[in-house]
Chain A
Amino acid sequence: DAKTTQPPSMDCAEGRAANLPCNHSTISGNEYVYWYRQIHSQGPQYIIHGLKNNETNEMASLIITEDRKSSTLILPHATLRDTAVYYCITSTSGSRLTFGEGTQLTVNP
């Protein structure tokens, strides 16, 4: 799995969009990009994943650059409950995930 690089922390104002970047410059053609988040004292929660195309679900949008070397997770209207550690992971199968240290997103009132 490709190594991913994320900023250690970010802040966002409540109600604004949160844009979380991830660099995965060594990603291979068959690796998907997965995003999970972990709220304090809970297990990680799946958010979204994609291969090449941008993806959107009820939780977030995933924007993958054309060269697939980086991606951005977008929470369109962040709430206080979105405060969590966000993990960007690459995987060929979605299993055996290798978690890094993620980005601590703090949503401020």
Chain B
Amino acid sequence: EAGVAQSPRYKIIEKRQSVAFWCNPISGHATLYWYQQILGQGPKLLIQFQNNGVVDDSQLPKDRFSAERLKGVDSTLKIQPAKLEDSAVYLCASSSESFSPLHFGNGTRLTVT
């Protein structure tokens, strides 16, 4: 079974620039999550999708972050404009249903200078 794929692996941008991350979940997984992990902290949920609908985006900074999951498969997370405090690893995860374990990708490490 192929795992959760994320790209790019690393990204360096200047503040006020925009950036996008891509995630391809495990085939057949209906639920997709984006997490932000700041260095030294545990991952923090940003948004949860069920198929192509948003289930929970309460912790997504909507003034600068946006996410979509077209056709209920791939997903993109965008930041515009980026701030220094957005420097973090952005993790994508998927699961087949409630109570099923989450499968994480290896993340995109974003550095904002």
Contacts and interface: CB of A to CB of B under 8 A. Distances in A.
A94 B102 CA distance: 8
A94 B105 contact: no
Interface in A48-80: 49
Interface residues of B, number: 25
B41 A97 contact: no
Contacts of B24: none
Nearest to A44: B104
A46 B48 contact: no
- Secondary structure call for the A interface: loop
B103 interface: yes
Contact of A94 (B35, B44, B95): B95
A97 B105 contact: no
B25 interface: no
A27 B14 CA distance: 43
Contacts of A97: 43, 45, 102
